[in-house]
C-alpha cells in the first residue's frame, strides 16, 4: 500500500506516538506500507518541528526528521498544478495542495490526513481516484 502522509499524521506517529498511528508505524516497519514524500513535505516538517509549543531540542527534531526521511521514498518530479487534470480540486489552504497533488501524481492508495479542509475534499477527490483517509480509517 502506497501512502502520502499529511504533516499532522507524521507528528502523531513520530512525536506524539498516538495509538491511532501505531498500526501505521507497524505496517511501515513490516514494509506493508510505503510512504512517498516530496521536498515541500520535508520542508514543512522541519519548520513545524521548530514550533516553540513542541519544545524540542535540535537533536530530537533531527531524530524525528531523519526517522521519517529514512522510511519515505522521495518524489523528485515537480508537484505543480499544471501536472494535474484541469478540473482537479484545489484546497482552501494552499499549503495542503502539494500533499493532495503528490498523492494523485504518484497514484497513492490514500492521502492520510486529519486536516478538516483536506478531509472535506474527499468526495471531489474520489472522482479522480484519490482516497483521503484518517489514520483510524486505514485498513492495515
**Per-residue confidence of the chain (140 residues) as pLDDT tens digits?**
999 999 999 999 999 988 888 889 999 999 999 999 999 999 999 999 999 999 999 999 999 999 999 999 999 876 665 678 888 998 888 889 899 999 999 999 999 999 999 999 999 999 999 999 999 899 88
Rounded CA-CA distance 91/99 in Å is 10
What contacts 124, CB < 8 A, 6 or more positions away?
Answer: 89
Residue position matching grid coordinates 521548530: 50
- Do 70 and 106 meet the contact criterion of CB atoms below 8 Å apart? no
| Structural domain count of the chain | 1
Q: What are phi and psi of 129, to 5 degrees?
A: 80, 15
**Could you tell me the CATH number of the domain that includes residue 33?**
3.40.50.1010
Domain, as residue range, for 97: 2-137
Rounded CA-CA distance 9/24 in Å is 10
pTM recorded for the entire structure: 0.92
Amino acid at each position: 500500500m502506497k501512502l502520502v502522509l499529511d504533516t499532522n499524521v507524521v507528528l502523531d506517529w513520530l512525536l506524539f506516538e498516538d495509538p491511532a498511528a501505531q498500526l501505521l508505524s507497524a505496517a511501515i516497519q513490516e514494509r506493508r506500507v510505503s510512504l512517498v514524500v516530496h521536498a515541500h513535505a520535508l520542508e514543512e516538517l522541519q519548520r513545524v518541528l521548530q514550533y516553540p509549543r513542541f519544545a524540542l531540542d535540535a537533536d530530537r527534531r533531527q531524530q524525528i526528521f531523519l526517522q521519517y526521511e529514512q522510511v519515505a521514498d522521495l518524489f523528485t518530479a515537480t508537484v505543480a498544478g499544471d501536472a494535474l487534470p484541469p478540473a482537479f480540486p484545489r484546497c482552501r489552504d494552499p499549503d495542503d495542495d502539494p500533499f493532495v497533488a503528490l498523492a494523485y501524481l504518484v497514484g497513492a492508495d490514500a492521502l492520510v490526513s486529519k486536516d478538516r479542509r483536506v478531509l472535506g475534499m474527499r468526495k471531489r477527490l474520489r472522482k479522480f481516484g484519490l482516497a483521503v483517509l484518517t489514520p483510524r480509517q486505514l485498513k492495515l
